[in-house]
Amino acid sequence: MTDELWRTAVATPSRLAEIGERHDRVFTLENLNLAVDHPGVPFARAADTMVLVREVDWPHLRMNLDLYHAQIGERNLIESTRAALSFVGEIQDVPGRCEPGTGEIAYPAIAAALR
């Protein structure tokens, strides 16, 4: 990614975070996957999305850790969750991408690893 694209990538969610602060709302950026649903997106991995959220560094911008996409693109859900935990504003389950516990992920194992 060029410097100009990176500056734009940081500036856009920064503006959203400012709006969120004014209206007491938190925006979330979702990690996606390249393999199945979103070929060519620049922030496909949870780690990429986390770097962007960390760079913006604003409490009104968090990460939507979509475990559906992380499972497809990264496979190691425990490590993805552990690394992103301090940046997460929402987590979605697999399949269906609803609240944790509604899908097939073994959350007791993830919770034990995070403890």
Across the chain, what does the average pLDDT equal? 86
Domain edges within the chain:
3-114
d(CA 73, CA 16): 26
pLDDT at 102 over 90: no
Query: What is the reported pLDDT for 97?
Result: 66
Query: Which architecture does CATH list for 3-114?
Result: Alpha-Beta Barrel (3.20)
Give the confidence band of 15 by pLDDT, cuts at 50, 70, 90: very high
d(CA 47, CA 58): 17
Dump the DSSP string for 93-114: -TTT--STTSSS--HHHHHHHH
Give the confidence band of 98 by pLDDT, cuts at 50, 70, 90: low
Question: Quick one: average pLDDT of 82-96?
Answer: 81
The percent helix, strand, coil of the chain (3-state, each to 5) is 50, 15, 35
Query: What is the reported pLDDT for 103?
Result: 73
Q: Which amino acid type is present at position 53?
A: V
Locate 4 and state its tokens: 């100009």
Q: Is the pTM of this model over 0.85?
A: no
Q: Where are the alpha helices (DSSP H) in 25-103?
A: 46-56, 67-73, 77-84
Length reported for the chain: 115
pLDDT in tens, 17-70: 999 999 999 999 998 888 888 888 888 888 889 999 999 999 999 999 888 888
